[in-house]
Amino acid sequence: MAHNENHWKTSSHLWRKIKHLAHEMRTNPTPAEDKLWQRLRRKQIHGVKFRRQHTIGRFIVDFYCKEAALVIEVDGPTHQCTQAEDALRTEFLQSQGVTVIRFSNGAVWNHLDVVVERIAEHVAGPLQHP
């Protein structure tokens, strides 16, 4: 039983660190994330709510919509993960029943309407087919 108690303490400690980091990331978003957030916030897409820097398991995702089970990631030059790490992260998120879509900073900056349209298509699908 002592092993389980230590496990939960470790998990609780990690959870606090992740929540604190997510809060800092919400406070200081990248310019591309902030630009996309202006189009996602206040239920502007099909009336669904998006969260910024939301934690799922041990991961912090850029944007999350519970109603559509959708994660949106915006990857830029400061993106720290390798392709292998991204694949593991995406595999975990998909195992939780979440669809993951990724956009580059450039796509957000140069083609925001196309990005928003693609997000709207993903959101509309689950809303039409519960």
What pLDDT is recorded for position 82?
74
Cβ(21)–Cβ(98) below 8 Å: no
CA distance 85 to 129: 31
Task: Give this prediction's pTM.
Answer: 0.84
pLDDT digits (tens, 9 = 90+) for 66-121: 999 999 999 876 555 677 788 888 999 999 999 999 999 999 999 999 999 999 99
Task: Please tell me whether residue 101 adopts helix, strand or coil conformation.
Answer: strand
pLDDT band, residue 9 (cuts 50/70/90): very low
Task: Please tell me whether residue 26 adopts helix, strand or coil conformation.
Answer: helix
pLDDT digits (tens, 9 = 90+) for 50-64: 999 999 988 999 999
CA distance 98 to 78: 24
What pLDDT is recorded for position 79?
52
CA dihedral for 128, 91, 23, 102, sign (positive or negative): negative
CA distance 5 to 27: 33
Looking at residue 38, the DSSP 8-state letter turns out to be: H
